Structure 1
Amino acid sequence: MSVPACSGVVLGVIGAGRLGLAVARLALAAGMTVRVAGSGAAIRTRQVVAMFAPGAEVLDAGEQLGGDIVVLAMPLSGIDDIDPAVLRGAIVIDAMNYWPETDGVRPEFDDPSRPTSTLVAERFPDAQVIKALNHVAFRDLEAGAKPVGSPYRIGIGVAGEGAALDAVADVVRCLGFDPVTVGTLAESGVLEPRGPVFGAAVSAAQLRARIDIAR
């Protein structure tokens, strides 16, 4: 397995909560350029990023983040507030999960036959959506990140298709994890809160085994 070129990658992160900041810190440590946009007041986002992800650039909500890949790390219901034009042409990592206590009761997000990433893809039809980074807690992401070739690397499930899937797999490697392809977005339900690997901070081989058993 080749080592991806991490420095020079520009990673956008929408969401300045615990997951978004954890991803930003890991990306900065890997040598990436990181741009963060929060959902609240820009001054608050700048304060939080300066404290918890120093070195990341802060953009106003609604600005084009540009760069290679954009991570959605906010409440799932927040997709309603993003202009699809902001993500036009982007590779988008959907790291979101549906939580009724945060998102409100949304039956369309709670349909086991329709993984939420398929709805994200419908919301942003001009983006290439890949599901990843949602099934491992942010604390485990930070504690479990290891260099390529190190033992005890955590496997991260990725779902999607085409060159965008390969690009996201490389970003996952840069962040310190081993990507495990689980299928298309239509099959990404295995990574959701009711899926067989949600919350599992295990090796790539163990992750694959759990998915294969569940299927």
Structure 2
Amino acid sequence: MSVPVCAGTVLGVIGAGRLGLAVARLALAAGMTVRVAGSGAAIRTRQVVAMFAPGAETVGAGDVMGADVVVLAMPLSAIGDIDPAILRGAIVIDAMNYWPETDGVRPEFDDPSHPTSSMVAERFVDARVVKALNHVAFRDLEAGAKPLGSPYRIGVGLAGEGAALDAVADVIRCLGFDAVPVGTLAESGVLEPRGPVFGAAVSAAQLRARIDAAR
């Protein structure tokens, strides 16, 4: 496992809620350049970012194009509001979960045989989608981030393939966690709210053990 290059990496975040801002803060602490796009009024996003992620740049959704990796941290039901062209060719971290209270009752998002990340990949067909950063609560992410080599790092699961999976694993390591690949997007259901590791802020070894036991 190579040491990831964190400083100089450009991370785009679409979504200026609690998770998106937590990821932005962790990325800034790792020396990354961070661009945050919110779904609401631009002035409100600027105010929120300036207050809770100072140092991040507030941009429009179209301006995340060109980032090394883009994190989707908005409500899952809002993916239809994002022009797929914005993410053409991008490496995309799907950090979203289906919550009926937020997204409304959407049976298509509630099919255990078809993980929601598969639908995200179908929407953004020209992007390279990796599921990650969705199964650990944002508070636990910030509290659990530790330097590379620390014995107390927590494991963060990710699902995807190829070079995109490797790139996202590097981002996870930069943010302060151990990356735990769990399979392809088709297998990403283990990271979803009904999966065996959802809500788990445990070591990489414990995370793997829970997934293996469930399978």
What is the TM-score with the length of structure 1 in the denominator? 0.99
Give the aligned CA root-mean-square deviation in angstroms.
0.8
Aligned to 1:77: 77
Aligned to 2:49: 49
Instruction: Measure, in 2, the Cα distance between the counterparts of 1:89 and 1:47.
Output: 30
Aligned to 1:197: 197
Q: What amino acid is aligned across from residue 137 of structure 1 in structure 2?
A: A
C-alpha contact 1:59 1:65 (8 A) present in aligned 2: no
Aligned to 2:139: 139
Aligned to 1:181: 181
Q: Secondary structure at the match of 1:11?
A: strand
| Aligned ranges 1:122-161 → 2 under 5 Å | 122-161=122-161
Aligned to 1:166: 166
Q: What amino acid is aligned across from residue 11 of structure 1 in structure 2?
A: L
1:97-145 per-position Cα deviation (integer Å, ceiling 9, x unaligned)? 0000100111110000000000000000000000000000000000000
- Paired positions, count: 215
Q: Please say which of residues 144-153 and 53-62 is displaced more in the overlay.
A: 53-62
C-alpha contact 1:35 1:65 (8 A) present in aligned 2: no
1:146-170 per-position Cα deviation (integer Å, ceiling 9, x unaligned)? 0011011000000000000000000
Deviation at 1:61, TM superposition (A): 3.5
C-alpha contact 2:12 2:64 (8 A) present in aligned 1: no
C-alpha contact 2:136 2:198 (8 A) present in aligned 1: yes
C-alpha contact 1:8 1:31 (8 A) present in aligned 2: yes
Instruction: Measure, in 2, the Cα distance between the counterparts of 1:58 and 1:151.
Output: 35
Instruction: Measure, in 1, the Cα distance between the counterparts of 2:141 and 2:110.
Output: 26
Instruction: Measure, in 1, the Cα distance between the counterparts of 2:72 and 2:97.
Output: 10
Instruction: Measure, in 2, the Cα distance between the counterparts of 1:61 and 1:7.
Output: 23
C-alpha contact 2:35 2:64 (8 A) present in aligned 1: no
Deviation at 1:64, TM superposition (A): 4.1
**Runs of 5+ consecutive residues of structure 2 not aligned to the other structure:** none
Aligned to 1:34: 34
Distance change (3 Å), C-alpha of 1:77 and 1:127: same
Aligned to 1:112: 112
C-alpha contact 1:42 1:61 (8 A) present in aligned 2: no
Q: What amino acid is aligned across from residue 177 of structure 1 in structure 2?
A: F
